Amino acid sequence: MSQRDIDSIKKIINSLTFRRVAYFFEDDMLPIYLFKSEEFMEEQLGYRFDSEGNSLISNVPGEWHEEWFVIGYHEEFDDPIFVSLHDKNLPVYIAEHGLGIWEPICISLSLDDFIKKCKIIK
């Protein structure tokens, strides 16, 4: 993951003037909080690294992967919302938190499309 990748994600998300959004996926409305750019790195805690700064990244199926970068979370269940840096379109995923393994579900084929479909939650 490069700083250029992170800067690209920040630019897209910072185009929003709001942080709390509703995103409709299949038949569900997902209430999502999207991080401010200054929150990005600290919010990787528990995903990319632990509280001691040790890496949690692995190539083992079910563990956190290098290319995943958290951009927000589901407000009701704290499930991470993240992008995959391995694809130039930055597809957006959600994975259920607390199961002991990560099984990502793609909710948008690109970060740009995801952002366009987000609705403001008041």
Task: Sketch the domain layout of the chain as residue ranges.
Answer: 3-120
Report whether 80 contacts 97 (CB < 8 A): yes
Mean pLDDT value of segment 79-98: 93
Closest CA to 60 of 95, 102, 98, 94: 102
The mean of the pLDDT values for the chain is: 91
Strands 105-108, 68-74: parallel, antiparallel or unpaired by DSSP? unpaired
Report whether 86 contacts 79 (CB < 8 A): no
Mean pLDDT value of segment 16-24: 87
Mean pLDDT value of segment 104-110: 97
Q: Is 77 in a helix, a strand, or coil?
A: coil
For the record, the structure tokens of 6 come out as 């992170």
Looking at per-residue confidence, does 19 or 91 come out higher?
91
